[in-house]
């Protein structure tokens, strides 16, 4: 997506309203994210996306579709994919079988979405499974950053076979905090050195294959007082500068509680968007 179209928005229902059409045609809109509330069945979704693309063929249609409990589409022929921890557990039995299974999962995930017109799923989760996080949990592949990296790369290979890009999340790592950033602002007290040596390692190792990255709505006070998604230090200095990442950066959902507390005060959605964009 070009940097002139920074907004990914959502729609309320299963069909477009006049307001939706007006917003989607706006030059600041770069794409749209779908949720379960936008789904009735495959024919309806395919028609909805075709209508969206008829307004602007360059709009990026996205979804959070990972497998396990984060899978928005589950009926009318969509395969129920296991949570990513499943592949980490298989790795412990047979690493080669696990990488092949992860590639198959990526291919199934992407091909079923692409058949309906969805362009991008915000997957894979690169967070490490520290056994602490309420919101990440079995969405993470493994505790070991090396295992996470190879399994994520296998999923990405499967996505690519079906013509889909990828999004690594939640940079630099959401796996160590207990709080859920949908309802709170988690704080991770670890040092930058510790984070780069462990949780952020997959981002350094996947530099050539990561298409996009989504930062965490987590504050790492030893690095910056702002959540990573609003932090120039995290995004410009560390992700772009130090790790050399040149792809797209997607803010996490700006309606989440973790996105609305910046510099210790509540901000509006518009303010949050402007802060994320400037970071």
Task: Copy the structure tokens of residue 255.
Answer: 């309606």
Q: Is 252 a catalytic residue?
A: yes
Contact 114, 159 (CB under 8 A): no
User: Taking the CA of residue 182 as centre, how many other CA atoms within 13 Å lie in the half-sphere pointing to its CB?
Assistant: 4
Choosing from 225, 252, 263, 269, the catalytic residue is 252
Distances 200 to 116, 190, 215, 229 between C-alpha atoms, Å: 33, 12, 11, 15
**What are the beta bridge partners of residue 120?**
62
CA distance 260 to 51: 32
Choosing from 10, 130, 182, 237, the catalytic residue is 182
45 contacts: CB under 8 Å, gap ≥ 6: 34, 38, 39, 73, 116, 117
DSSP string, 174-228: STT--S-TTTS--B----HHHHHHTTTHHHHHTTTT--EEEE-S-B-TTT-SSBG
Q: How far apart are the first and last CA of the chain?
A: 17
Would you give the DSSP letter of residue 252? P
Residues taking part in catalysis: 182, 252
């Amino acid at each position: 997506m070009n940097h002139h179209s920074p907004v990914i928005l959502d729609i309320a229902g299963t069909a477009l309203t006049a307001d939706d059409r007006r917003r989607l045609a706006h030059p600041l809109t770069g794409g749209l994210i779908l949720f379960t509330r936008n789904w009735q069945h495959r024919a309806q979704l395919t028609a909805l996306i075709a209508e969206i693309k008829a307004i602007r063929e360059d709009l990026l249609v996205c979804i959070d579709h990972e497998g396990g409990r984060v899978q928005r589409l589950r009926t009318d022929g969509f395969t129920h994919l296991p949570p990513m921890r499943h592949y980490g557990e298989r790795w412990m039995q047979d690493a080669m079988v696990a990488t092949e299974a992860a590639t198959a999962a990526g291919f199934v995930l992407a091909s079923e979405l692409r058949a309906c017109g969805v362009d991008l799923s915000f997957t894979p989760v690169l967070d490490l499974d520290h056994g602490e996080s309420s919101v990440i949990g079995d969405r993470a592949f493994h505790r070991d950053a090396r295992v996470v990296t190879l399994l994520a790369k296998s999923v990405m290979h499967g996505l690519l076979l079906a013509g889909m890009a990828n999004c690594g999340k939640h940079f630099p790592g959401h796996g160590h905090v207990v709080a859920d950033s949908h309802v709170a602002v988690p704080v991770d007290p670890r040092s930058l050195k510790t984070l780069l040596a462990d949780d952020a390692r997959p981002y350094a190792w996947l530099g050539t294959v990561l298409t996009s990255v989504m930062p965490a709505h987590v504050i790492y006070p030893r690095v910056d007082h702002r959540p990573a998604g609003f932090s120039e230090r995290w995004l410009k200095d560390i992700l772009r500068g130090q790790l050399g990442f040149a792809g797209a950066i997607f803010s996490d959902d700006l309606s989440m509680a973790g996105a609305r507390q910046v510099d210790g005060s509540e901000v509006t959605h518009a303010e949050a968007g402007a802060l994320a964009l400037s970071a």
